Amino acid sequence: MNFRSDNTAAAAAEIVAALTAVNDKPAPAYGEDVWSRKLNEAFSALFEREVRVFTVASGTAANAIALASVTPPWGAVLCHREAHIECDECGAPEFFSGGAKLVLIEGEAAKITPAALQEAIVRNARGIHSVAPSVVSISQTTERGAVYKPEEVAAIGEIAKRAGLATHMDGARFGNAVAALGCAPADVTWRAGVDLLSFGATKNGAIAAEAIVCFDLDRAEEIARRRKRGGHLLCKGRYPAAQFLAYLEGGLWLKLAARANALATKLGAAGAAHVSTPVESNQVFIKPGAEKLAKLRAAGAEFYDWSPGEARLVVSWNQSEADIEAMCRLLASL
Amino acid sequence: MNFRSDNTAAAAAEIVAALTAVNDKPAPAYGEDVWSRKLNEAFSALFEREVRVFTVASGTAANAIALASVTPPWGAVLCHREAHIECDECGAPEFFSGGAKLVLIEGEAAKITPAALQEAIVRNARGIHSVAPSVVSISQTTERGAVYKPEEVAAIGEIAKRAGLATHMDGARFGNAVAALGCAPADVTWRAGVDLLSFGATKNGAIAAEAIVCFDLDRAEEIARRRKRGGHLLCKGRYPAAQFLAYLEGGLWLKLAARANALATKLGAAGAAHVSTPVESNQVFIKPGAEKLAKLRAAGAEFYDWSPGEARLVVSWNQSEADIEAMCRLLASL
Amino acid sequence: MNFRSDNTAAAAAEIVAALTAVNDKPAPAYGEDVWSRKLNEAFSALFEREVRVFTVASGTAANAIALASVTPPWGAVLCHREAHIECDECGAPEFFSGGAKLVLIEGEAAKITPAALQEAIVRNARGIHSVAPSVVSISQTTERGAVYKPEEVAAIGEIAKRAGLATHMDGARFGNAVAALGCAPADVTWRAGVDLLSFGATKNGAIAAEAIVCFDLDRAEEIARRRKRGGHLLCKGRYPAAQFLAYLEGGLWLKLAARANALATKLGAAGAAHVSTPVESNQVFIKPGAEKLAKLRAAGAEFYDWSPGEARLVVSWNQSEADIEAMCRLLASL
Amino acid sequence: MNFRSDNTAAAAAEIVAALTAVNDKPAPAYGEDVWSRKLNEAFSALFEREVRVFTVASGTAANAIALASVTPPWGAVLCHREAHIECDECGAPEFFSGGAKLVLIEGEAAKITPAALQEAIVRNARGIHSVAPSVVSISQTTERGAVYKPEEVAAIGEIAKRAGLATHMDGARFGNAVAALGCAPADVTWRAGVDLLSFGATKNGAIAAEAIVCFDLDRAEEIARRRKRGGHLLCKGRYPAAQFLAYLEGGLWLKLAARANALATKLGAAGAAHVSTPVESNQVFIKPGAEKLAKLRAAGAEFYDWSPGEARLVVSWNQSEADIEAMCRLLASL
């Protein structure tokens, strides 16, 4: 019953097969191969408009390179206090941007509200002595598994645009969000004002496939440069490209994400009495207190503590039904 | 007849198989899985001493992170004018180090001589107004396919140590070098004064597997931090680890490299009249003039120009015998 | 009645005279002149131990260079939410450190308590995924004019040392603090665990004279490098040196600061009904509401708003008695 | 007979007087005082067009901030091998730009020729794998005292513009250059394609007064930010402003520079037999061999060696006639 994180799961058979399928003849290096070239096309189709896509080795790289391309060194990135870019990337956004500052916003379920964003922009626009708010970054799903609806993203995007800020979305679990929303990927990204999306596949069935999806085409050249300079332009580009092509093919990404979401919903229902954040995707937060968490662990459940007495359970794309059933029973017994 | 670069080749069957073999149960993320944990052991055995190994996504990342860990922002990296870190990494060493300067040294076959290194150190030690020489970086094999003998590395390492500089080796083609030398990996690295090695596998049969081998254990913590911060700590560490374990298993790396070297030797012999740099590994440089190069291309050969009238032919680990035979005939006919 | 800031005041006659006095024969550049050489001696005498002193052009430079010398790019600087380094330096600490993060701590009167520091250290020590707490920075006086007593600094310094953090003091108004405390400068700095002090003179009578006083001599070489690289090593070092020598001569610095403190105390007494932070140095905070602040302005008082309905009045070293008397009457009439 | 450098000289009486003259009433901080506000006007008049001026503490800061505003971190600054920015600033351009690379060009008398610039641009435009040439920086006067004529600057500016590069001029000794040319300052700067000028006064009679003159007004905001962030926005802006206003007043700057140039010409004539670079401003290079240099030193002359057997003699604005006469006799006697 390993619910530590979806990044502990193996890769989907389709992904591995795709990787094997391209492992054949010589192919041009550095993204000039046929599969890499198909990526822009495949993502443009997915998002119903022209985009540019840049694969990188990690979500941290996707976030940091995307943010650096819209934040001057004296800029500020506005994000939630619990955002991955603030808490879990060892200062990568600061590194790639040349020293920008992360300005933190509070909010339920690790979500930013339009009002809180507006307030943070005003509070931080203090002229030359302070850093300059340059981009807002939201996580979809959030670090507490919440999902922004298209109109929520649009409200944020509009405030950002009006204040001259770019909008970035950390989509490490973008598949889980879109599967939960059932909307077009476009609806919750560029149509809602998102300029740059970190599109993650690793947590949802890939080996190592993360990408920056660039809706603001003027940023593409800079992103290309920053990727190369950061050591994230792979010479054998066919392998990440193949993973992504398989991931999108036939909606595999949504199928895998939907399954994890559904199982998480079951967990949430079973542990409803202790759920501390509404379950909207593949993450379940419960706060039964330290004693009951110890009991869960004693029964074989693995997970991370999130705050005193609170735990996070993440359901992976390939979590076994048996795991879920056993865990449901455990939760119900608390 | 594609001799553009060994980075255009597919991956070895053993590597792909290894990747598939670990694609099974959940495994701890961020290098805490059993395969990642075996890496330090495997590399320590290979190098006959305790080392720390850090996988990264590209050779550029390996070089830049390694150099940054031994160069302050006001430091200088001494390297050959044709070094990959100078010519082909879009300033990654400057980025990761926070603005260090690359000081360029001339030398035959892209090799640095002890005398030239000594001269560059003296010339650049001008106190607080100039940057401070901090590390010498040599490529093994060099960008012209030359191979440093253990005693040549030792002579460089000794000058560096005496002047308080660290020694870094860019081993993007380390396998080809060791296969050519027939020595122990230790002989041409730490026993010869090398503190940090960029150990490449991608060009010699892997999918994407590069590593920093750290002989100076005091640097390990800083390298770990810089890797994470650069977005190069993969969450699913088992996949790069598995590639490396297979790469080392039973000497696969030397077998693949030796084959490429041997085929390059054949090419060199066939084109002896035009060879512009002695063939010592899997790269062949010929300088027959623009007209003859055009003739080669017209006959189906693919390669990069290196200087006016000069071409570089790189033999891959899986280059076909047919390719080689055809190319030998072409070269002989020039 | 200009109480905007002590940085609007002219320079003391002694300082200007000193500057004229050294304006004579040729003198070696870059700090090799006799006056610059006397600085280390003069400050060592002042602090009753060997120190190294580095003049720079601004308090921002002093803070940023000092912090960068004890914080790796992946480090965290712990400071108060209202600290000058957080609010008023346009990200200079992030720039000079190569992207370190400022972690903010709350506290009355812009002071950090030992307990809050301890909590922040623990909360931010999350291994490789988060930045590493590296230094605590406190302001003496604080941005609200409060003064840390020697034992308060010592309590902070001890927690820092135990956790492996350096301790930095932003002494833009160090003179006002020491004049208020009546202690030896050593008591509130290195004897209390401070490793690096930004020693400001500009706000207290100099033209442009700020310095980094380095108690941790091992940091001196790095600070020298960072100063040069930041463009803060002046070629004509005699002029900032002469300012500092005059500033220390005969306790001028304490005389000027004590006067400003005493006048501020008068202001505080006159406006006691509205004082929002106890007056401990040359800054007076009053919170009479917006209407009464408008009344003050209408009567000719100049000052900055600090929060809604709250104002900051700063008394300069050369504030006229007439200004003070008039302002006291105004405050008493509120 | 101190000919070490013009940065060893004291400040002109007019400059010191100006500084004293403004040392009076409170004045707004951070460049909002009346003198700072006059600077843009005074420089706009001098350059016969609208400019923006930013004072900084050193020539290193002026160069580095100017270059950073026109060079992305992955950019290249093209400059002469002997340029001050390459040899004497401890990597400040790399620091302020976030890691740009300096690409070196050879040329007589430390001058860049249009042909050499063209060649360097072509050689370094290698796409994403190499840094991107972004700005050419020339020194006026050069590090060997040579002076670019307006048409020479224009030829460089035109090549730069055609290739999409900005043009920067390091005018640490701009006064000596303009005095030697007898042209309008505009002719040798913006009319010849210069976008940014480091305008130095310190070496020619000021205490500490360097400025970035910005002809490309779109860069002004970024320069303002970078200056603040680099700790170079002084709170008491009146003092550098007053120095500059006095420096320009009545052509003081050209008077001082012309005197130094004329005296240097005398030295050059006296030592004609050994002059190694034609004397065009206030620097004299002689190469009489080590033995004769030792003889000069034994007779009381102070200067720096420039290359084996070669010396640099710099004449200051206030060099005594006696110094010059004595040195002329010495040189003639060699």
Beta carbons within 10 angstroms of residue B286's beta carbon = 28
- Residue A46's H or E segment, with its range, is helix A34-47
Which pLDDT score, from 0 to 100, does residue C280 have?
98
Pick the CATH number of B13-251 from 3.40.640.10, 1.10.3720.10, 3.90.190.20, 2.40.30.20: 3.40.640.10
Give B225→chain C minimum CA distance, Å: 6
Q: Band of the pLDDT at B231, cuts 50, 70, 90?
A: very high
Residues 259-318 of A with CB under 8 A from D: none
Class of domain A13-250: alpha beta
d(CA C64, CA C211): 12
Q: What is the pLDDT of residues D35-64, one digit of tens each?
A: 999 999 999 999 999 999 999 999 999 999
The predicted structure's pLDDT at residue D219: 96
CB D60 within 8 A of CB D83: no
pLDDT for A125 equals 80
CB B292 within 8 A of CB B334: yes
Integer Cα distance of A148 and A137 in angstroms:
13
For residue C126, pLDDT beyond 90: no
- Largest Cα–Cα distance in chain A? 58
Beta bridge partners of D76: D101, D133
Q: What is the pLDDT of residue C125?
A: 80
Exposed e or buried b for every residue in A279-309, given b needs 16+ CB within 10 A?
A: bbbbbbbbbbeeebbeebeeeebebeebeeb
The shortest C-alpha distance from C27 to chain B (Å) reads 18
Contact criterion met (CB below 8 Å) for B119 and B45: no
The most distant pair of C-alpha atoms in chain D lies apart, rounded to whole Å, by 58
- Nearest CB to B128 within list C74, C98, C228: C228
Closest CA to B81 of B123, B137, B41: B137
Q: Which of residues 89-118 of B touch C (CB under 8 A)?
A: 98
- pLDDT at position D231 is 98
- Taking only the tens place, the pLDDT of each residue in C194-220 is 999 999 999 999 999 999 999 999 999
From the CA of A305, how many Å to the nearest CA of chain C? 13
User: Which residues of chain A fall below pLDDT 50?
Assistant: none
Contact C58 D232 (CB under 8 A): yes
Give the closest residue to A77 by CA, choosing from A111, A106, A100: A100
Q: How many CB atoms lie within 10 A of CB C333?
A: 12
Q: How confident is the model at residue B136 (pLDDT cuts 50, 70, 90)?
A: very high
Q: Which residue of B has its CA nearest to A33?
A: B8
Q: What is the residue-averaged pLDDT of chain C?
A: 97
- Residue B231: which of A2, A8, A60 has the nearest Cβ? A60
Whole-angstrom distance, CA of residue B168 vs CA of residue B153: 10
Q: What is the DSSP string of B105-128?
A: E--GGGPPPHHHHHHHHHHT--GG
Q: Find the Cα–Cα–Cα–Cα dihedral A19, A23, A27, A33, rounded to 10°.
A: -20
**d(Cα D28, Cα D25) in Å, to the nearest integer?**
10
**Chain C residues 182-241 with CB within 8 Å of chain D:** 202-203, 207-208, 225, 228-236, 239-240
Which residue do the tokens 């690793």 mark? A202
| A chain contacts of residue C131, beta-carbon cutoff 8 Å | 90-91
Nearest neighbour of C73 by CB, restricted to A88, A95, A101:
A95
**So where are chain A's domains?**
13-250, 253-333
Neighbours of A32 (CB within 10 A): 12
Assign C234 to helix, strand or coil.
Answer: coil
Residue A138 CB-half CA count within 13 A: 34
- From the candidate CATH numbers 3.40.50.720, 3.30.70.660, 3.90.1150.10, 1.20.1530.20, the one assigned to the domain spanning A253-333: 3.90.1150.10
DSSP assignment letter at C2? B
Who among B74, B91, B98 is closest to D90 (CB)?
B74
Centre a 10 Å sphere on the Cβ of residue D186 and count the other Cβ atoms it contains. 17
Cα A63 to chain centroid, rounded: 9
What is the torsion angle, in degrees rounded to the nearest 10, for the CA atoms of residue D9, residue D10, residue D15 and residue D16? 170
- Indicate if the pLDDT at residue C229 is higher than 90: yes
Over range C157-174, report the average pLDDT.
98
- Report whether C329 contacts C7 (CB < 8 A): no
Cβ atoms A263, A319 nearer than 8 A = yes
Distance separating alpha carbons of residues D95 and D85, to the nearest angstrom: 12
CB contact under 8 A, A225 and D74: yes
The set of chains that have 3 or more CB pairs under 8 A with B is: A, C, D
C247-279 pLDDT per residue, tens = 999 999 999 999 999 999 999 999 999 999 999
pLDDT of residue D281: 98
CB atoms within 10 A of CB A44: 15
Question: Which residue among D10, D26, D207 places its CB closest to the CB of C25?
Answer: D10
Backbone angles phi, psi at D166, to 5 degrees: -85, 165
Closest alpha carbon within chain D to C93: D229
3-state secondary structure of A94: helix
Beta carbons of B88 and D131 less than 8 Å apart? no
Query: C312 by DSSP, 3-state: which?
Result: strand
Alpha helices in chain D, H assignment, sequence order: 13-21, 34-47, 59-68, 84-87, 92-97, 114-124, 150-162, 174-181, 220-229, 238-248, 252-270, 290-298, 321-333
d(CA C166, CA C153): 13
Strand partners, B302: B2
Is the CB of A73 inside 8 Å of chain D's CB atoms?
yes
Give the residue among C241, C210, C246 at the shortest CA–CA distance from C227. Answer: C210
The tokens describing B250, both together, are 């039973």
If contacts are CB pairs under 8 Å, which of residues 2-61 in chain B contact chain A?
2, 4-5, 7-11, 16, 19-20, 22-29, 56-61
Closest Cα in chain D, distance from residue B80 (Å): 15
The residues that bridge with D275 in the sheet, in sequence order, are D286
pLDDT of residue D124: 86
CATH code given to domain D14-250: 3.40.640.10
From D87, which residue of chain B is nearest by alpha-carbon distance?
Answer: B130
Position D125 pLDDT exceeds 90: no
Report the distance separating Cα A102 and Cα C94, nearest Å. 11
The shortest CB-CB distance from D98 to any of A98, A128, A129 is to: A98
Mean residue pLDDT of chain D comes to 97
pLDDT for position D126: 82
CB atoms within 10 A of CB C300: 12
Alpha carbon distance B46, B184 (integer Å):
8
Instruction: For residue A58, report the phi and psi dihedrals to the nearest 5 degrees.
Output: -155, 160
* Amino acid at residue number D303: F
Q: What is the arithmetic mean of pLDDT over D246-255? A: 98
Q: Are strands C75-80 and A210-214 parallel, antiparallel or unpaired?
A: unpaired
Helix (H), strand (E), coil (C) string for C67-91: HHCCCCCCEEEEEECCCHHHHCCCC
**Among residues C180, C179, C176, which one has the least CA distance to residue C202?**
C176
Q: Which residue of C has its CA nearest to D234?
A: C58
Min Cα separation D98/chain A (Å):
6
**Structural contact between residues B59 and B170, judged by C-beta atoms closer than 8 angstroms:** yes
- Determine contact, residues D124/D95, Cβ cutoff 8 Å: no
Distances from the Cα of C13 to the Cαs of A183, A308, C202, in angstroms?
72, 60, 13
The answer to whether B60 contacts A228, with C-beta atoms less than 8 Å apart, is: yes
Query: How many beta-carbon pairs under 8 angstroms link B with D?
Result: 58
Helix (H, G, I), strand (E, B) or coil at B59: helix
Rounded to the nearest angstrom, the minimum Cα separation between A304 and chain C is: 13
Give the residue among B167, B159, B219 at the shortest CA–CA distance from B189. B167
- pLDDT band at B125, cuts 50/70/90? confident
HSE-CB for B308 with a 13 A CA cutoff = 1
B146 by Cβ neighbours in 10 Å (0-12 / 13-18 / 19+) ranks as buried
Closest-CA residue in chain C for A102?
A: C101
D217 close to D50: Cβ distance less than 8 angstroms: yes
Can you say whether residue B246 is alpha, beta or left, with left for phi > 0 and alpha for psi between -120 and 50 degrees? alpha
Contact D244, D201 (CB under 8 A): yes
CATH fold for the domain made of C17-250: Aspartate Aminotransferase; domain 2 (3.40.640)
What is the distance between the alpha carbons of residues C244 and C253, in angstroms, rounded to a whole number?
9
Give residue for tokens 């024969």.
C25
If you write DSSP's letter for every residue of D78-132 in order, what string do you get?
Answer: EEETT-HHHHSSTTHHHHHHTS-EEEEE--GGGPPPHHHHHHHHHHH--GGGS-E
Q: What ipTM score was computed for the predicted complex, to two decimals?
A: 0.97
pLDDT tens-digit series, residues D177-232: 999 999 999 999 999 999 999 999 999 999 999 999 999 999 999 999 999 999 99
User: Residue B258: which H helix or E strand, with range?
Assistant: helix B252-270
Q: Crossing angle, helix B174-181 and helix B252-270, to 10 degrees?
A: 80
- Report in angstroms the alpha-carbon separations of B320 from B315, B317, C279: 9, 9, 84
Instruction: Give C-chain residues touching A130 at CB under 8 angstroms.
Output: 87-88, 90
What are the pLDDT digits (tens) for A149-196?
999 999 999 999 999 999 999 999 999 999 999 999 999 999 999 999
How many CA atoms are closer than 13 Å to the CA of C315, on its beta-carbon side?
A: 32
Confidence band of C59 (pLDDT split at 50, 70, 90): very high
How many Å is the Cα radius of gyration of chain A? 20
- Alpha-carbon distance of A158 to A154, in angstroms, equals 6
Strands C196-200 and C166-171: parallel
Inter-chain contact B91–D97, Cβ cutoff 8 Å? no
* Chain A interface disruption, residue of D225, D233, D235, most A CBs within 10 A: D225
What's domain B253-332's superfamily in CATH?
Aspartate Aminotransferase, domain 1 (3.90.1150.10)
Residue A126 has a pLDDT of 82
C-beta separation of D211 from D262 below 8 A: no
How many Å apart are CA B100 and CA B70, to the nearest integer? 11
